[in-house]
Amino acid sequence: MFSATLKRTSLALALSGFIAGSAYAAPEVLADFHQEMGDCSTCHVSKKGPTDDNLTHENQQCTSCHGTMDDMAAQDAEKKLKVSPHKSHLIGEIACTSCHKGHEKSVAYCDACHSFDFDLPFAGKWERKFVPIDVNKDAQEKAIAAGPRDTTDVVIVGSGGAGLAAAVSAHNNGAKVILLEKEPVAGGNTKLAAGGMNAAETQFQAKLGIKDKVSTMIDDTMKGGRNINDPALVKELAQNSSDSIDWLTSMGADMSDIGRMGGASVNRSHRPTGGAGVGAHVAQVLYNAAVKSGADIRLNSRVVRILEDAAGNVTGVLVEGKYTGYYVIKSKAVIMATGGFGKNNDRVAKYDPALKGFAATNHPGATGDGLDVALAAGADTRDLKYIQAHPTWSPVGGVMVTEAVRGNGAILVNREGKRFVNEITTRDKASAAILKQTGASAFLVFDDSVRKSLKKIENYIHLGIVTEGKTVKELAEKMNMPVPALEKTIASYNGFVKTGKDTEFARPNLPRDLVSAPYYAIEVKPAVHHSMGGLKIDTKAEVMNKKGSTIKGLFAAGEATGGVHGANRLGGNAISDIVTFGRIAGKSAAEFVKAK
């Protein structure tokens, strides 16, 4: 390893020249900046460049000099940075090279969603172009002709909750796993999930005296999905939900806090104590378990083709390693856990033209190329035209504001200071109602008791998207709303809380009155959130072909699939879906391999 002291000294010298604007000519990229420290071997183990797509050696070189992410975050704290770009809801071991590039402009991964104001050295502008799976046909064919580079029992595509749950479950059922993720960081949309994971008849509901039934979860899910869901999949979801909570808990997850999501008859959305975000926690627990199980997790590794023999049995995948190029992994089973396509507006608008130009709540990798890969292998799909807009996305911060804020008592008001909808109706209805208001946006309004009930709100305050008023009057003035109207709206809502009946919009849960100053408001509007449609699967997570039979050796789970949520997903049902069907897919694939 390069001498840390020498590197630090030359880095300091170079930086001082760079910052002071001396005769030192500012380099374009990090590799040029580090040039005087040596040749390619300063960063790479081989003169040819990276030898694995996780850039393991290269990242070790960064940390040997600059310290780990924790060290960097500590330095950010010392510098009193408002936001440490080195500490966030990302899961796993975050590689320095996720943001800091050697031979191209560096790009802060968080910039894909957030609008932080910070300077990244040698920074470029964040942009992601969708690259079709079938470019470079010649190179792909050459890699296939070269034969497999690796062999395993089960290949899992996607490192979100569905993929990670499948990895743990496949291992527990005796299979060897390679998990491939095209992004430089793990966790997909799962790491962003906020409000909770739905489950019925759980130990935690029992402790809080919440009376729920599996059959009620089924009814709510079917009704929310406008009854076009696959009833067998919904039954599987609800019947396994409590066991999935116990499974996560057995691996160290905290799912003890429970709130209400839109369209649910009772409180069944489980999340960590105090109402902290559910997704990063669940994803981290599953990631740790997958690593412990020995799963070989490869980042920057996009699957572009499922390989099949002449009889249509799956034989492996073709991978596009960002740094190592195309190569084949031989396996008896493949699990597609590639998530949705919310961040690819061209694809969204193709299926639902009304959503053209909409922003999205999703992570940058939600482009839907996994769907293309499965389609090319003969998979059937369903319900692709049903794409959900989440009603409350902040145009200021570029982030989704969790439904749990409404579930815990916030109301929605328009620019005229009036409520206009049952705040915890289903998302399709809430989004449509917001779009009808002046300016096609609305405001979440709540008081300090709602803030204290949900840890997640501190993140929104931290991001600077919350306006605060010492009184309702001050809040209305800051929001340019008519003061008497907002005062009247809050007074009448508090009256409904007292009587237990919302006679205006029939909101079914009225958890608390809004009387504790200070008061808060967040501007919100709908943004593309969830792909309800996707690959057609059966209750064993086997993927169906267009003839209605299964593709032997191909399994799928999570947002990449269709049928569980029908035309409209209920808040909290996706995390339940990915954990339960991820587990099922892992078990089914391992059993399939054993039986071969």
Catalytic residues: 427
Q: State the minimum distance, in angstroms, from the CB of residue 32 to ligand MEZ.
A: 43
Q: Which residue type occupies 251? A: M
**Partner from ligand FAD, ligand MEZ, none binding residue 442, C-beta < 5-8 Å depending on class:** none
| Options 187, 263, 397, 571; binder of ligand MEZ; rule CB under 6 A | 571
| Options 235, 270, 298, 302; binder of ligand FAD; rule CB under 6 A | 302
CB 184 within 8 A of CB 98: yes
Helices (H), 400-503: 404-407, 427-435, 448-453, 456-462, 472-478, 483-499
Q: Can residue 361 be called a binding residue for ligand FAD (CB under 6 A)?
A: yes
Instruction: Return the number of the residue (383 or 403) whose C-beta is nearest ligand MEZ.
Output: 403
Lookup result for tokens 């630090």: 8
CB 90 within 8 A of CB 16: no
Binding mask 377-406 for ligand FAD (x = CB under 6 A): -----------------------x------
**Partner from ligand MEZ, ligand FAD, none binding residue 329, C-beta < 5-8 Å depending on class:** none
Q: Can residue 241 be called a binding residue for ligand FAD (CB under 6 A)?
A: no
Q: Can residue 263 be called a binding residue for ligand FAD (CB under 6 A)?
A: no
Q: Is the dihedral of CA 576, 578, 579, 580 positive or negative?
A: positive
Total binding residues for ligand FAD by CB under 6 A? 44
Contact segment (CB under 6 A) with ligand MEZ among 67-75, 165-173, 191-199, 469-477 equals 191-199
Q: Can residue 366 be called a binding residue for ligand MEZ (CB under 6 A)?
A: no
Nearest to 472 by CA among 499, 443, 435: 443
3-state secondary structure of 372: helix
Tell me the longest C-alpha to C-alpha distance in the chain.
Answer: 75
3-state secondary structure of 236: helix
Distance CA 408, CA 571 (A): 14
Q: Can residue 92 be called a binding residue for ligand FAD (CB under 6 A)?
A: no
| Options 85, 397, 553, 572; binder of ligand FAD; rule CB under 6 A | 572
CB 434 within 8 A of CB 423: no
What residues does 198 pair with on adjacent strands?
269
Q: State the minimum distance, in angstroms, from the CB of residue 530 to ligand MEZ.
A: 6
Instruction: Return the number of the residue (299 or 400) whose C-beta is nearest ligand MEZ.
Output: 400
**Strand 442-447 relative to strand 148-151, pairing:** unpaired
Distance CA 574, CA 277 (A): 14
Instruction: Return the number of the residue (163 or 526) whose C-beta is nearest ligand MEZ.
Output: 526
Binding mask 170-199 for ligand FAD (x = CB under 6 A): ----------xxxx----xxx-xxxxxx--
With 0-12 / 13-18 / 19 or more C-beta atoms within 10 angstroms meaning exposed / middle / buried, residue 356 is exposed
CB 156 within 8 A of CB 175: no
With 0-12 / 13-18 / 19 or more C-beta atoms within 10 angstroms meaning exposed / middle / buried, residue 278 is buried
Instruction: Return the number of the residue (67 or 274) whose C-beta is nearest ligand MEZ.
Output: 274
Q: Can residue 169 be called a binding residue for ligand FAD (CB under 6 A)?
A: no
Kindly identify the residues of this chain, within the stretch 230-289, that bind ligand MEZ according to CB under 6 A: 261
Q: State the minimum distance, in angstroms, from the CB of residue 33 to ligand FAD.
A: 30
Q: State the minimum distance, in angstroms, from the CB of residue 437 to ligand MEZ.
A: 19
Q: Can residue 160 be called a binding residue for ligand FAD (CB under 6 A)?
A: yes
User: Residue 101 CA to chain centroid, in angstroms?
Assistant: 23
The CA-atom distances, in angstroms, between 455 and each of 113, 224, 460 are 21, 27, 10
| Options 230, 257, 369, 380; binder of ligand FAD; rule CB under 6 A | 369
Q: Give Cβ neighbours of residue 541 (< 8 Å, ≥ 6 apart).
A: 335, 555, 556, 557, 561, 581, 584, 585, 588
| Options 194, 384, 421, 564; binder of ligand MEZ; rule CB under 6 A | 194
Instruction: Return the number of the residue (195 or 397) whose C-beta is nearest ligand MEZ.
Output: 195
Kindly identify the residues of this chain, within the stretch 403-422, that bind ligand MEZ according to CB under 6 A: 403-404
Q: Which residues bind ligand MEZ (CB under 6 A)?
A: 194-196, 261, 402-404, 571-572, 574
Q: Which residues bind ligand FAD (CB under 6 A)?
A: 157-163, 180-183, 188-190, 192-197, 278-279, 302-303, 337-339, 361-362, 365-366, 369-370, 373, 400, 530, 558-560, 572-575, 578
